[in-house]
């Protein structure tokens, strides 16, 4: 049996085994594990961000204040 390509996770043991048994096979890592690892980083950063926001007094409890509507639709806006 001749294998041309192997799709695997990024485990070093699997890579070594494939290299030993099928030395000419092209090895490709799957996307699942990369996405899984990135998800862990994302949610860790999100937790840290919410933790930092929670340390700012009133940051999570005060709704944003509405803008002054007396300016009209074009006053105070250079883009209009």
Residues 25, 6 contacting (CB under 8 angstroms): yes
CB burial string 57-74: b at 16+ within 10 A, e below: eeeeeeeeeeeeeeeeee
Task: Give the model's confidence band at 15: pLDDT under 50 very low, under 70 low, under 90 confident, else very high.
Answer: very high
Q: Confidence band (pLDDT; 50, 70, 90) for 80? A: very low
Measured distance CA(29)–CA(38) in Å, rounded = 15
Token pair in block for residue 16 = 């070594």
**Which residue ranges make up each domain of the chain?**
5-57
Residue found under tokens 């007094």: 57
pTM over 0.85: no
Q: How far is CA 6 from the centre of its chain?
A: 26
Q: Which two tokens stand for residue 13?
A: 């043991």
């Amino acid at each position: 049996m001749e294998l041309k390509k192997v799709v695997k996770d990024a485990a070093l043991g699997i890579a070594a085994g494939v290299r030993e048994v099928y030395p000419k096979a092209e090895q490709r890592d799957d996307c699942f594990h990369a996405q899984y690892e990135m998800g862990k980083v994302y949610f860790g950063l999100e937790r840290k961000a919410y933790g930092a926001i929670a340390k700012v007094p009133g940051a999570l409890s005060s709704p944003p204040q509405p803008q002054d509507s007396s300016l009209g639709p074009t006053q105070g806006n250079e883009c209009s």
